[in-house]
Amino acid sequence: MEKRIPVTVIKTLSDTDGIMTALKAYGIFTSEITLRTDCAIEAIELAKKNHADMYIGAGTVLDGKSCKAAIKAGAEFIVSPGFSFDVLEICEERGIPYYPGCATPTEITTAVNAGLNVLKFFPADLYGGIKALKAFASVFAGVKFIPTGGVNAENEGEYLALPNVAAIGGTYLVADALKKYGGNI
C-alpha cells in the first residue's frame, strides 16, 4: 500500500486519463475513485483499462450493490465512509481489501471483531485527528488507520509519522497533482 492515497472525484469520464496520468507523474500509483458521480463506475473501468500499472479502488461505497458494480468494473480495493457487513461479505468472497470508515472505539471494535485490521479513520479532523490516533495506538495495538477528512499537505507528515497510520488519503493529492501536471483538467 502506498503511503498517500488520492481520494479522486471524477466528474466527467473524459477527465479520467488526464487525472491518472497527472497522479503518476506526481509519483502516485494508487487512486480511490469515489462513487460520488454518475460516471464513477465507468471511470474505474477506464482507469484500469488504460492505467494497468495503477492500483485502482472505489471509495464512498455505501452498499452491496455499488460494491459489486465497482469490483466488476475493476476496483482492487473498496473504501466506505462507514462500516457495512454487506460490503465486507462481498469483499471477503472476492478477496478484495475493504477499508471501512471508523471513528469511534465502538466502530473500530466492530471492524476488528469482523476480522479487519486496516481501517479508514474518517472524518479524521472532526474526530480528534492526530490526538485520537495516538490514543487509539495503545488500545487498538494491531490496527492501522488511513486517516482522511482534514488531512492536507501541511499535516500529512505528522499523520504519516504515527506508527498506527498505514497511509493517508485526501482530495488535496489530486488537486496538487493536477496543479503540477494536469494541463487542461
Q: Which residues have a catalytic role annotated?
A: 32, 120
CA distance 150 to 129: 8
CA distance 107 to 111: 6
| Torsion on CA atoms 175, 180, 184, 185, rounded to nearest 10 | -20
142 exposed, middle or buried (CB, 10 Å; 0-12, 13-18, 19+)?
exposed
15 DSSP assignment: G
